[in-house]
Structure 1
Amino acid sequence: MMEQLKLFIEAFSGLGLFLFGMIYLETQIKASAGRAFKRWVRYMTDTHAKSLLAGLGATAILQSSSVVTLMALSLIGAGLMNLESAISVIFGANIGTTVTAWIVGLVGFKMDIRILSYAFVGIGGLGSVLLEDGSRWRSTLNAMVGFGLIFMGLEGMKESFSGFAESFDLGEYRFESLYWYALIGFGVTAVIQSSSASIAIIQSALFAHIVGFEAAAAFVVGSNVGTTVTAMLGAIGGSPDKKRTALAHFLFNVSTGIVALAALKPLILLVDMVLPAADAVIRIALLHTIFNILGVLLWYPFIGLLAKWLKRFFKREKEHVTHYIHDVSTDLPDVAIDALVKEIAHLVDEVQNFALFAINIPPEKALKEGVPVDKLLDTFDENMQLSYHRLYAHIRRIEGEVFRFITELSRQQMDEMLKQKLDKAARTTTYLATAAKAIKDMLHDLDRWYDGESNEEQAFLRNLRYQILKSVQAFHKAYDGDEKAYEEMENFYKRIAESYRNSLELIADIAKNRAIASEMTTIAINDLHLSKSFSKSLRNVLKELQVLKGAVS
């Protein structure tokens, strides 16, 4: 009884480590992925074929299709991979996992991931403690900890059932139907979380003549389907695309398993024709490879259609983008305007954060008192892996709801003072929309400046980021109620206008360098105008808010 309780606790703990590692890894991938990693992922997954090869190669190296599947789920959750690419990676991983069976069959190798998990957690943990908070390298090492926890969780779940795996004697179970062996293969893999390990078990049993080749073949097919359990666990609590990827993995493996079981005898005949003199252990590895390749060939032409069909599932419930006005009736103008002012404050926060994210500085760091601007610019000098256009779309939706609310509210009977405040709210929202649009129009250019390698391009980028950062900081201080707020914002806007002349010198340097694309000069001029427009819009917001805030005072 105590031994069974111990096994249960170990299994439960392993599952907890596994799930936490998944969530932690995804978080750190978002924080640590820099431009180079972003470009590499995009390059390796920009076509179905390359994504398939990436999945195959990664699985062959890591010796675990489960880990590669979890990596794909993490990347799609982090927004670094789309659904079709993730499906292609999983298809490749199913072929790559056959490498382990070949290694076991040829050299008897079996990888122990425990040491690997300790190494990842140890190196990542030490590095994350020693490096400065906010450093991209610290986030990268934290991601290593996430990998280590996933490995450790998988190993913990396997070890908790080691007694079962060691005493599992297929010789005691002689079934007439091959489907029973497939079911056992599925169950063993689902429990120990490794198709490679379960196939190694059946290869050992086959080598010892405990089971026949057909029974072993059915077991391998079942174990292939059992790997879907790992992906399902990894998708728990994840985004809709993560769940769709796990469902694609399930459909692929189940359909491939059904076809393989239905055509098991022809597959065995094909194996015997290809390797007639090989021993049974090698032939089972070949069978494993053949039916996975056949499954990929069957599904590969329909990846796009599969992804489109999966989009019907796991849709998020409609979420309110607004915080205050969606539950307020316009029949009560005084209450409605109070909610409107709060909603505009929410929109102010969103626009501020969007601008800071665009220059890759975390808002909580940028708006913290006493942090030198130069330190912020130096520390956070890599692109964040965020969907900037999604952030902008979110702001546009808030703006749209605010304008709709203002329109509905304007139909109500109200005194002249409330009407004036409503007009102020509309103008404030317009200026915030203009500020957000200026940043949105810079996004593509910012990527090009970040990719620039010349000193002139990097100098211009730093100047541009400085202007946006200082504009937001000055606006934030003013918005928080500093008595001299408006004057400070006015002075800073004047400095922005004056710095425009200094920036022209940077543009001249860019124009002189013939190694820089000629259009970068025009892009630089355009970005300076956008920066001025952003700062001016924030200054205008302050003018309107001075009156509008009186609506709730």
Structure 2
Amino acid sequence: MIRRHGIWAALLILAWGLWINPDLKTIAGGVALFLFGMVCLEQGFKALAGGLLEQGLRRSTDRLWKSIGFGIATTSLTQSSTLVSLITISFVSAEMIKLAAGIGIIMGANLGTTTGAWLIAAVGLRVDMAAYALPALVFGVVLALQKSLTRRGLGYIILGIGFLFFGIAYIKIGFDTFQDGWDLSQYMIPGLLGVLIFTGIGMAMTVVMQSSHATLLVIIAALASGQVSYEAALGMAIGANLGSAVTTAIGGLTANLAGKRLALAHVLFNVFTAAVAIALIQQMVWMVDYLAGFLGIQDDLLFQLALFHTLFNVLGVLMLAPFVGLMERLLTRYVQFDSPNRAKPRYLYPGALETPATAVSALNKEVSHLYDNAHDLITHGVSLRRATIASKDSLEDAVRNTRRIISLDVDDEYEYKVKSLHNAIIAFISEIQGQALSENDGARIFALQQASRDIVEAVKATKHLHKNLIQYGVSSQPTARHAYDRIRLQIAQTLREIGALRAQESETVTRLSLDAFKISVENFAKTLTAQINQNVRMRALSPAVATSILNDEKYAVEICVNLLDAAAALLQPESAQERAAEGTLALDEEDRAQISTAREAVDHGDPKSTR
């Protein structure tokens, strides 16, 4: 509720501020243009770089110094630590880079933000940026309207630069005007308390604007116009660093556990750096004065602010870089965000490892639990209800009467309901394999591990199928709708068949019944393919839609076959003798092919097929 109404509250406060002081509108407009320029820059670099940023991430993670260097370089280039941080979180979440490498990149990104402060101090307020903004917008728009992705990306970058220039110019004008009507310097509080207050102000500004670069621009402009003192500007610069971590933390809310750990590492790093900068503020100011005299900028407060911003970020990296490995271990060990939506193992507990028999039994039950979760996900993925599958109602009617496709985030459901259990099953199996196992137990464990993989693959196929089902599942085009109804019906029949077999006594279930149903799945695929080809020839379907249907038919077959194979493992007899007997009854690929061919011949009225 807070998130839903927060934006409207913020807009009302902004409107009130602009009403009581119209001079603020120039500053607010400049900030808006600057932020929009940052958005254009991000879009441009994403389009222009393509996969280069991702490839660079992979290659720059084998050494900590490489990770830090990559963070510095990419943030300096894109002028967006948020972009680099969020991409890094996504890579850590996908386990494509390690947590330690992600921490290194975040450290480098913090250092990279200092280049923005230097650029703004050097040219942002000393040159008429508006004179260069209009030409940049003209060239940017022309390129952004091109079809080529590279040209569009370059166009967005130039547009972003143009809007940045406009934003800087308006903020400078706004503070010059603002100074004549309202002198903020009269509210300055000397000493540490003043630094802390302005640290909070800088943090709040960054959280609201979601850009530390925009905050630094406002700080430097305010300092240049005399609206804030040098000491207050230092506090606001520290606060800008703290606020940037909030943006990463918000991005980490939607990540998995590894991504949340990296987001927390970013917060801890920035809080530590800010605490050190505040605690050593007098020493830091002395160091800035000393280096400013050495560099010849002792009379330029803007450069001194940029130097201070650089120094405390460098200090934070130097102090924490040796402990990145320790941070990774502590975060991995103690940070365990437990989502209420995440499925937990029901049967895998340390006591189950006491004997191979109890371990195999627990594993069988947990894989069955995984199947139940996947059953629900797949059922909803084809817009049906579990109660419908479990009942004796007509599946044809249920499919035909579907009026809308159930909205489902398959990625989230997979992450919380399937992948978490599959990971726990794999970890449990690795513990079992450390014991002395009989050949019978080893074979059973292998079969259950494969069943777990089959279930996961069925869910992944559902994710692909669901995307097109949203578009064509209730299509007004009857031919496409009918084809997807047949796909949904086949999956529903498979789920019902497996449910019926699981409900029977295990000794009455044979592999033969599952193999027989697998033949019907294969025949369904052949029949549907032939029908789709005929529809294309008759112009009843476009080739594009037909391609989507045929791809989804393949996913449907994968779902059905993987579920049938998983069910075969779950329903397998416990003893080796019973499994061997069942194996002699099971059909191999050649047997199924012969039966399938015979059925097709019967369907086409070939009398030789029955001889």
TM-score, length-scaled by structure 1: 0.51
Larger RCO (CA under 8 A, 6+ residues apart): 1
Contact preservation (8 Å) 2:33, 2:163: yes
> 3-state SS of the aligned residue for 1:127?
coil
The structural deviation recorded for 1:291 is 1.5
| 1:493-529 Cα deviation digits (max 9, x unpaired) | xxxxxxxxxxxxxxxxxxxxxxxxxxxxxxxxxxxxx
Alignment partner of 1:43 is 2:59: yes
Matched, 1:263 2:280: yes
Q: Distance in 2 between matches of 1:305 and 1:117?
A: 48
| Conserved? CA contact 2:31–2:171, under 8 Å | no
Q: Does 1:173 align with 2:194?
A: no
Report the AA paired with residue 59 of structure 2: Y
Is 2:143–2:152's contact at 8 Å kept on the other side of the alignment? no
Query: What does residue range 52-451 of structure 1 map to in structure 2 within 5 Å?
Result: 52-69=68-85, 72=88, 85-105=101-121, 122-128=142-148, 138=149, 167=178, 169-176=183-190, 177=193, 178-203=195-220, 212-228=229-245, 230-231=247-248, 246-272=263-289, 274-275=291-292, 278-279=297-298, 280-300=301-321, 301=324, 302=326, 304-305=328-329, 308=332, 312=337, 320-322=376-378, 323=381, 327-328=386-387, 332=391, 394-397=456-459, 406-412=497-503, 423-426=515-518
**What displacement does 1:173 show?**
2.0
Answer yes or no: is the 8 Å Cα contact 1:88–1:303 preserved in 2.
no
Show CA shifts across 1:59-115 (max 9, x none): 223444345445546777899766654443222111112123334555667897967
1:94–1:292 CA contact under 8 A, matched in 2: yes
Structure 2 counterpart of 1:49, one-letter code? W
Change (3 A) 1:79 1:101: same
Whether the 8 Å CA contact 1:56–1:93 is kept in 2: the answer is: yes
Shift in alpha-carbon separation, 1:430–1:288, aligned structure 2, 3 A: farther
Match of 2:609 in 1: none
The alpha-carbon distance between structure 1 residues 95 and 16, as it changes in their structure 2 partners (threshold 3 A), is closer
2:291 & 2:31 partners in 1: Cα distance? 44
Deviates more, 1:19-28 or 1:70-79: 19-28
SS of residue paired to 1:287? helix
Aligned to 1:284, what secondary structure does the other structure show?
Answer: helix
| Number of residue-to-residue matches in the alignment | 396
Cα distance in structure 2, aligned partners of 1:157 and 1:544: 75
Question: What are the Cα deviations for residues 224-268 of structure 1, in whole angstroms up to 9, with x where unaligned?
Answer: 223345546766877777666555433432332233223322333
Question: 1:126, CA displacement in angstroms?
Answer: 0.7
CA RMSD of aligned residues (A): 6.1
Matched residue SS, 2:189? coil
CA deviation vs aligned residue, 1:346-397 (integer Å, no higher than 9, x gap): xxxx9xxxxxxxxxxxxxxxxxxxxxxxxxxxxxxxxxxxxxxxx9984245
- Whether contact under 8 Å (1:333, 1:412) holds in the other structure is no
- CA apart distance, 1:56: 0.3
Take 1:13 and 1:199, find their aligned partners in 2: how far apart are those partners?
Answer: 14
Equivalent residue letter for 1:410: L
Q: Tell whether the 8 Å contact from 1:66 to 1:194 is kept in structure 2 after alignment.
A: yes
Amino acid at match of 1:409: A
Hey, what's the Cα distance between the residues in 1 that align with 2:133 and 2:338? 37
Give, in whole Å, the separation in 2 of the partners of 1:27 and 1:546. Answer: 52
Question: What amino acid is the match of 2:315?
Answer: L
Question: How far is 1:41 from its partner?
Answer: 3.7
Contact 2:188 2:232 in 1 (8 A): no
Q: Decide whether aligned partners of structure 1 residues 327 and 120 sit closer, same or farther in structure 2, where only a CA change above 3 A counts.
A: farther
Q: Is the 8 A contact 1:232 1:246 kept in 2?
A: yes
The 2-side partners of 1:267 and 1:110 are apart by 26
d(CA) in 1 for partners of 2:391 and 2:104? 55
Q: Bigger CA drift: 59-68 or 95-104?
A: 59-68
Q: Distance in 2 between matches of 1:21 and 1:234?
A: 19
Cα 1:114–1:229 shift into 2, 3 Å? farther
TM superposition shift of 1:118: 6.9
* CA pair 427-121 structure 1, distance change in 2 beyond 3 A: farther
How far did residue 338 of structure 1 move?
Answer: 9.5
Q: Residues 412 and 328 (structure 1 numbering): CA distance in 2 closer, same or farther, change over 3 Å? A: same
Contact 1:52 1:91 in 2 (8 A): yes
- Which of 52-61 and 168-177 deviates more? 168-177
Instruction: Describe the SS at the equivalent of 1:227.
Output: helix
Q: CA deviation at 1:327?
A: 1.3
Residue equivalent to 1:131: none
Corresponding residue of 2:479: none
2-structure distance, mates of 1:145, 1:313 = 43
SS of residue matched to 2:337: coil
| CA distance in 1 between partners of 2:591 and 2:142 (Å) | 49
The amino acid across from 1:287 in the alignment is F
Going from structure 1 to structure 2, the CA distance change for 1:546 and 1:127 (only over 3 Å counts) comes to same
Does the C-alpha gap of structure 1 residues 23 and 247 become closer, same or farther in structure 2, counting only changes over 3 Å? farther
Give the distance between the partners of 1:246 and 1:149, measured in 2 at CA. 30
Distance 1:79 1:541 in 2: 45
Instruction: Mark the CA change 1:12 to 1:273 in structure 2 (over 3 Å): closer, same or farther.
Output: closer
1:478 alignment partner in structure 2:
530
C-alpha separation in 2, matches of 1:25 and 1:393: 40
Counterpart-to-counterpart distance in 2, 1:13 and 1:420: 68
AA in 2 matched with 1:327: R
Gaps of 5+ in 1: 129-137, 341-349, 351-390, 433-471, 486-534
Change over 3 Å in CA distance of 1:47–1:479 after alignment to 2: farther
